[in-house]
Chains A and B, each alone.
Chain A
Amino acid sequence: MSLLIKTHYALAKESIRQNRTRSFLTCLGIAIGVASIILIMSLAGSINNMIATQVKSLGADLLVVRPAKHNDAVSNIVDGLTASNQYLASNLTLNDAKAIAALDDVTAAAPIALSVGTLTSEDKLVPSASVVGTTEDLAKIQNLQLKNGTFLSDKVENAAVVGRNLSLELFGTSQEAVGKTFTMLEHKFIVVGMLEEIEDPINFDNVDFDNSVLVSADYLFGINAPFQVQQINVKATNTGVIPELTKEMKAMLDAEKSGDMNYRILAGDEISHPAGGLFDIVSGMLTLVAGVSLVVGGVGVMNILLVSVAERTREIGIRKAVGASGINILIQFLFESLILTLAGGMLGIVVGYTLAFLISVVTPFSPYVDLGIIVIAVGTSLAIGLIFGIYPAIKAARKDPIESLRYYR
């Protein structure tokens, strides 16, 4: 049996080699699909890794409350883009954050309330800038380095802390923005501090701090700015209390929301799931590309095999005449299909990782190489080979020897 397989493998390889260009082109569709899969998975892995490291460095005493319904439906992607806020369904409020902060085991709790506003300084205007409403507690929960000035405080209610890039846009400086003022919704804000340039724009807050301005959430509420509480970051007094604190928070929020359970309390690794709207769009698109090109590639393989079967009708007749059974012919063509898609898969793995490395040069991603990803890629190509190869193979196997022998091209 193994000998027959070896023989069939040799046969299939031979026939593929004799149609090199055709075989290569056939592989291409599969290769693109597999490359997309590799790219998606390696980037997703990389992002997960990055956020996980971040969360770890923040400490195990971190809890995050997020809306349960992650807004990632395709129809909402556009909304998500314009609002730069993927938790449209959020029903968390600033009061929730305050109530959590008041709990015994909580050191600090800060909401991340996302809004978009048009900011105007003396001579410049930034339309739809990302505005983050939060409290001074945020600085206690996560490590936000200030370049100069101070963080938000209760004392100055219209204080603002600007990110480096936004400061450049708004004031034309990335050095001395402290003391400058800008207007949003006809209200004046005064810059009290400027953030250090951020190393990782991808973080569990899903806020690109470089391009944002931080203001008091209460003040945002006061001036009737539209916003959504995207998440509440909570720092516990120590790691030991986390299980109990989680229960406590749950009980409290349940009572507060009177049964509308649209929130989740996350701790540890759970937090690190990529929360980026952009990432969802990109990976959604790549998944689409992968799916489409795999199907198109598979159809291509089937097409070529059908041509090959027709071309070799006489050969099939001869093989049958000298003793090949239907199964023999079936296996021969199935092997051809599998070899084609497997070769395409291999090519896709190489291309996918090359692309991932290229992307990593210009972005903070670092490609995530994992055996599991490669196994999935290889498995997918084999499955495609099987699915799209079986029909032509059966067609070949069913050919009548005498009619095939009479076949003239």
Chain B
Amino acid sequence: MSPQDVVIDIKGLSKRYGYGDAESYALRDFDLMVKRGEFIMVMGPSGCGKTTLLNIIGLLDKPTDGEYLLNGVPVEKTSERRKAKLRAKKIGVIFQDFNLIPRLTVLENVTLPLTYTGYSKTRRNMQADKILERFHLQEREYYKPYQLSGGQQQRVAIARSLVSNPEIILADEPTGNLDSRSSHVVMEELREIHQAGNTIIMVTHNPALTAYATRVINMLDGQIDTDIKTVADRDLPQPVSVHFRKRQILKEVKEAIVGNKETEEHDGEVEEIQEQHEVEQVEVKAEPKEIKEGPKTQKTARRSTKRTGKKSSGRAKPKTKKKPGGRKK
């Protein structure tokens, strides 16, 4: 495996709270190397530092000591602005306590990460619609969080973390409030996202779910207790496209040319993206190209035609460059 395949590289990381007598370590001399396409389950007793670890990986918290390379870049040297951008586009976080904004509707909560990426409102809503549909929440779009059950809130939080198609998903007990059936739905979603070559780190207290993982880490007192890989590195699902950097450049070039910030990192999204293509092709009659017809296409097409309206013409063209879908359902 080439070094580019290492997404997260943590060496000697510590997180200390308090000083002197009150000193305590949430993480102590922590080492972790995560490769692209891993699906890691983190387990351990309450208070052993799992959330702290996810916060640091998600660029929200800063370690007291140690080194953290994200995609080979030292996080310490990354500017706050860049970190914000990474959080918006590359990292999806599912918080243990959901962290929905109470005064915003479900739809607005889900579109939140897209707000800071320069998508138009129509486009944000379209993308959020789609993800909410996947989590069977489309009827609750205009509810406020307090009008939802705990499980529904959790699904909204998951939907929000996935809406911008992040490459790294950090999930803090995403099934904590769900019954086994809903858990299953969520886990299947995560599995699909994982199959598309994305990296997932998930905290759970449910040993039954470890079947989904490629690696299980047990933590104890801010350190790794056991670390078991159930899938060999070479068998990890890999994205069709080459490397992070190259894709990044490719994407930026595209953005520069067409002014379209659509992400296309994940083959997992190709199916949906193609739905949109079709919508827009229908409208502007761009050159036909191979389209994989999804079951939901018809409905989505009709609905989004209304929404995109006149704006679509500028976007239709670049999408024809998209890679064909790499995954069958």
Min C-beta distance of B122 to chain A, whole Å: 11
Known A318-B101, A325-B84: A402·B116 in contact at CB below 8 Å? no
Nearest CB to that of A326 among chain B residues?
B80
In the complex, what distance in Å separates the CA atom of A326 from the CA atom of B115? 14
Which residues on B sit within 8 Å (CB–CB) of A11?
Answer: 115
Q: Give the distance in Å from the alpha carbon of A328 to the alpha carbon of B88 in the complex.
A: 12
Whether B80 lies near A323 (C-beta < 8 A) is no
Question: A interface, by DSSP: helix, strand, loop or mixed?
Answer: helix
For A321, what are the chain B residues with a Cβ–Cβ distance below 8 Å? 58, 60, 87, 93, 95, 99
**Which one of A319, A326, A327 lies within 8 Å of B112 (CB-CB)?**
A319
User: Is B78 positioned at the interface, with any CB of A under 8 Å from its CB?
Assistant: no
Nearest B-chain residue to A319, judged by Cβ: B112
Asked whether B85 lies within 8 Å of A322 as measured between CB atoms, the reply is: no
- State whether the Cβ of A156 lies closer than 8 Å to any Cβ in chain B: no
> Given A318-B101, A322-B116, A323-B116, A401–B60 Cβ distance below 8 Å?
yes
Q: Does B225 contact A (CB under 8 A)?
A: no
> Counting CB contacts under 8 A, is A3 at the interface?
yes
Q: How far is the CA of A265 from the CA of B303 in the complex (A)?
A: 77
A interface bracket (residues with beta carbon within 8 Å of B): 20 to 34
Say whether A324 contacts B60, CB under 8 Å: no
Q: Which of B96-128 contact A (CB under 8 A)?
A: 99-101, 103, 112-113, 115-121
Chain A, residues 7-27, CB within 8 Å of chain B (1/0): the string is 100110001001000000000
Contact, CB under 8 Å: A324 / B120:
no
- Taking a contact as CB atoms under 8 Å apart, the answer to whether A7 and B61 are in contact is no
B81 interface contact, C-beta 8 A = yes
Selected contact of B80 from candidates A319, A322, A325, CB within 8 Å: A325
Q: Are A315 and B84 in contact (CB under 8 A)?
A: no
Contact: B118 with A3, CB < 8 Å? yes
Residue from A4, A325, A327, A405 in contact with B99 in the complex, judged by beta carbons closer than 8 Å:
A405
Whether B99 contacts A320 by the Cβ 8 Å rule is: no
A324 with B118, Cβ < 8 A, contacts A318-B101, A402-B55, A402-B60 known: no
Determine if B88 and A322 form an interchain contact, defined as CB atoms under 8 angstroms apart.
yes
A362-408 interface with B by 8 A CB criterion: 401-402, 405
**Interface-centre pick from A7, A314, A327 (highest chain B CB count, 10 A):** A7
Chain B residues with Cβ below 8 Å from A7 are 115, 121
With A318-B101, A402-B55: A323-B60 Cβ-Cβ less than 8 Å:
no
Q: Name the 3 nearest CB pairs between A and B, nearest first.
A: A323-B88, A325-B84, A322-B113
The count of chain B contact residues (Cβ–Cβ below 8 Å) is 28
Could you tell me the distance in whole angstroms from the C-beta of B106 to the nearest C-beta in chain A? Answer: 14
Cβ B93 vs Cβ A322 within 8 A: yes
Chain A contacts for B266, CB-based, 8 A:
none
Indicate if the CB atoms of A318 and B112 lie closer than 8 Å.
yes
- With the chains together, A405 CA to B95 CA distance in Å? 10
Roughly how many angstroms separate A325 CA and B18 CA in the complex, as a whole number? 28
B61 touches A327 (CB 8 A): no
CB nearest to B113 among chain A residues: A322
Alpha-carbon distance A7/B124, docked complex (angstroms): 11
**Residues in chain A near residue B101, CB distance under 8 A:** 314-315, 318-319
Q: A321-B93, A325-B80 are in contact. List 20 more A-B contacts (CB 8 A).
A: A3-B119, A3-B120, A4-B116, A6-B121, A314-B99, A315-B103, A319-B101, A319-B116, A321-B87, A321-B99, A323-B84, A323-B87, A323-B88, A324-B88, A324-B115, A325-B116, A326-B80, A401-B60, A402-B61, A405-B99
* B89 CB within 8 Å of chain A: yes
Question: How many whole Å from A330's CB to the nearest CB in chain B?
Answer: 12
| Complexed CA–CA distance, A323 and B103 (Å) | 19
Q: Which residues of chain B are within 8 angstroms of A323 by Cβ–Cβ distance?
A: 84-85, 87-89, 113, 116-117, 164
Chain B residues near A4: list those with CB within 8 A: 116, 118
Closest to B164 in A: A323
- CB of B277 within 8 A of chain A? no
Task: Report how far A403 CA is from B100 CA in the complex, Å.
Answer: 16
Tell me the complex Cα distance, A287–B135, Å: 61
Q: Is B160 an interface residue (CB 8 A)?
A: yes
> B185-216 vs A: 1/0 string, CB under 8 Å?
00000000000000000000000000000000
